[in-house]
Chains A and B, each alone.
Chain A
Amino acid sequence: MKRTVPLLITFIVGAVLILAEFVPHEPFGNFGEDFSLYFDIIAVFAFLLGGGNLIRVHVTKVQRKKKDWPFSIVTLVGFLGMLAAGLLKIGNPDGIQGDVAKLGSLFNDLYMFIFTPLQASMFALLAFFVGSASYRAFRAKNLDATILLVAAFVILLGRTPFGLWLTSGLEGSLSFLQIPNLANWIMGVPNLAGQRAIMIGIALGVISMSLRLILGVERTYLGQDNE
């Protein structure tokens, strides 16, 4: 029961959605639509689940006074504060009927001046790591890595004016060797070919994995309990 029902659900939902791709007539066309709608709503429940997990983990940390527990309070305050501002639409110019992220509402302010700088700065840290990785980790260890680094070099140079300055002497029939042109060629030709081969391979992988999931051959996602 604990395994059969989920397998059956996966099979029916998957098969109906595939049918819906080819049968536009009711009820199949509508099934496709309805299931997508259900999926969207369940996705929101997944956010709730994430929130629930978060509260559980951090409350436990505070209760047991684990390492760095005061910071868990920061997490909880941030979470509950943002949640209240959003759910109750505090300070919304249009009251409870207004758009949740209306300009001037507390929710929007928190978003603009807490969420945005935090998220953007986190990603900006990566620029520094790219720097240190290029100094310490990216080595021309073998032929493959060397080709990779040379291609990366041409692209990087081609996206700056220096590439043009370096090779502007190559004119006429040799102009295709100018670094910006070379960079565009790499993007449009070998890069495209490689991406396409990867894409076709992954598509086949996804197709066969989806088929195995629908047919219940692959069931790792259900875990191994109650075997």
Chain B
Amino acid sequence: MELLRSRIIIGITLLSMVLMFGSALAQDADKRDVLDSTAVRVGTFKKPVNLPIPAQLDVVEDSEGDAGSSITVSWLPSPDDGAGKNNVIEYQILRSESQDGEYVIVGSASRGMTQFQDATTTDGVTYFYYVRTISKDGGANSQISAGIQSSPQWFNTKDLDTFIIGLIICAAVIYFIYHAQKGKKFFLRQIAGLEAVDEAIGRATEMGRSILFIPGINDMDDVQTVAGITILGRVAKTIAEYDTKINMPVSRSIVMTTARETIKQAYVAAGRPDAYSDDMVHYLTDEQFGYVAAVDGIMVREKPATCFYLGAFFAESLIMAETGNSIGAIQIAGTAMPAQLPFFVAACDYTLIGEELFAASAYLSGEPKQLGSLKGQDVGKIIAMIVILGLCGLYTVASISDSVSLLDFADKIKGLFSAS
């Protein structure tokens, strides 16, 4: 039942993505027709005395891949732009709803620019445009464009690259999750710090002291908190076996309920449900510094032998790691907050860096779907590395051989990997 449903979901997702891809291609073909029939190219003007040579309209068209209400005007720069006596100050873009009606300025672009997006149009209304080139002596007008309307599109063709790359990565993740669920085993490398988990718990048991577990200060909608709780599941299993004390102050009420359930399950699995108590996890306050102050107090008073900090951390990371260090605890930390990583790396014994936190949670949970998705992420990394390697190679060869055509080719490929 479970498997069937996930298959259906995967099927629907893939199907819808394929459909979108198809419509994108169709849209693209459409687009070209529009461009040919409505694009306007205008001839040169004679240059009046003292005025700058006007820019020539290049293409005026409905903006690509948007929800309508936008027309893109582009022009060939005035020869006076950046050179000559009549240095251009800016270009003004003027618009009217009838060819010989009253034209109003809808925007301006600084010199050197050749495009303007008029995002204030109403779909279905025909507009006419011209560009005025402004210098200190006055303005010179380009010819007026043909009538043009804006309209919404069904697919954002500008984002086709994002779409395809996303599709590949998502497909890879789904593929490996699916195979992992069917029982395929994947190799995963060792993560430094994970082997230390059992040792750290053992040490606390021997010393008869407690373990402090901090799942970060964000709520359950943060991926890092989820990872922290997953690791807690594995830690709880060991402490249930060893009968070690655990103390887990939290700053969110949902995190509290989830953590309690997680530890309880571990104790049930170890066959000692009566040894579990709700007091192991307790809520302090949502307020960041109030929470830290309280945790600090717990550390100084209880002197836990081992501290885990796994989740999303902010400024409090420093205070916790410093206090933990001063009481001589073994500290194992992990977060994807780059600004807090340095303090953990400098003051803790082991630190899971960024993506390693997610990997560790997958690793420790032992759940096939989690392990499979890690493998899928690695496919993303391979794509990134191949593209970077290829592009850098192309650029380097182009630069050494001084070949313009090769450089153009490299730019084109690079353009395929672009956010905008």
| Complex A–B touching at CB under 8 A | yes
| Contact assessment for B220 and A205 in the assembled complex, using a CB-CB cutoff below 8 Å | no
| Contact assessment for A23 and B322 in the assembled complex, using a CB-CB cutoff below 8 Å | no
Where chain B touches its partner, the secondary structure class is helix
| Contact assessment for B321 and A198 in the assembled complex, using a CB-CB cutoff below 8 Å | no
Whole-angstrom distance between the alpha carbons of A127 and B346 in the complex? 17
Whole-angstrom distance between the alpha carbons of A139 and B377 in the complex? 34
Q: Which of A25, A218, A223, A224 contacts B67, CB < 8 Å?
A: A25
Determine the chain A residues whose CB is within 8 A of the CB of B338 once the complex forms: 195, 198
Q: Which of A114-147 contact B (CB under 8 A)?
A: 122-123, 125-126, 129-130, 132-133, 136-139, 144-145
Known: A24-B152, A130-B318. A221 touches B226 (CB 8 A): yes
B6 contacts A by Cβ under 8 Å? yes
Name the distance in Å between A104's Cβ and chain B's nearest Cβ: 28
B115 contacts A by Cβ under 8 Å? no
| Chain B: interface residue total (CB-CB under 8 A) | 69
Where chain A touches its partner, the secondary structure class is helix
Determine the chain B residues whose CB is within 8 A of the CB of A212 once the complex forms: 173, 177, 369, 373
| Contact assessment for B265 and A201 in the assembled complex, using a CB-CB cutoff below 8 Å | no
Name the distance in Å between A28's Cβ and chain B's nearest Cβ: 9
Segment among B8-16, B80-88, B238-246, B407-415 that sits at the interface with chain A: B8-16
Determine the chain B residues whose CB is within 8 A of the CB of A202 once the complex forms: 336, 354-355
Determine the chain B residues whose CB is within 8 A of the CB of A224 once the complex forms: 258, 261-262, 265
Q: Which of A24, A125, A139, A220 contacts B220, CB < 8 Å?
A: A220
| Contact assessment for B381 and A22 in the assembled complex, using a CB-CB cutoff below 8 Å | no
| Chain A: interface residue total (CB-CB under 8 A) | 53
| Contact assessment for B286 and A54 in the assembled complex, using a CB-CB cutoff below 8 Å | yes
Whole-angstrom distance between the alpha carbons of A200 and B338 in the complex? 12
Determine the chain A residues whose CB is within 8 A of the CB of B261 once the complex forms: 223-225
| Contact assessment for B174 and A211 in the assembled complex, using a CB-CB cutoff below 8 Å | yes
Segment among B44-52, B93-101, B155-163 that sits at the interface with chain A: B155-163
Determine the chain B residues whose CB is within 8 A of the CB of A217 once the complex forms: 6, 177, 369, 373
Could you give, for residues 1-33 of chain A, a 1 whenever the CB lies within 8 Å of some chain B CB and a 0 otherwise?
A: 000000000010001000101111110010000
Determine the chain B residues whose CB is within 8 A of the CB of A132 once the complex forms: 322
Could you give, for residues 210-243 of chain B, a 1 whenever the CB lies within 8 Å of some chain A CB and a 0 otherwise?
A: 0000000000110100100110000000000000
A50 contacts B by Cβ under 8 Å? yes
Whole-angstrom distance between the alpha carbons of A215 and B17 in the complex? 14
13 residue pairs A–B, Cβ–Cβ below 8 Å: A24-B152, A25-B153, A25-B154, A50-B286, A144-B345, A200-B384, A201-B354, A202-B336, A206-B223, A207-B166, A211-B373, A212-B369, A220-B258
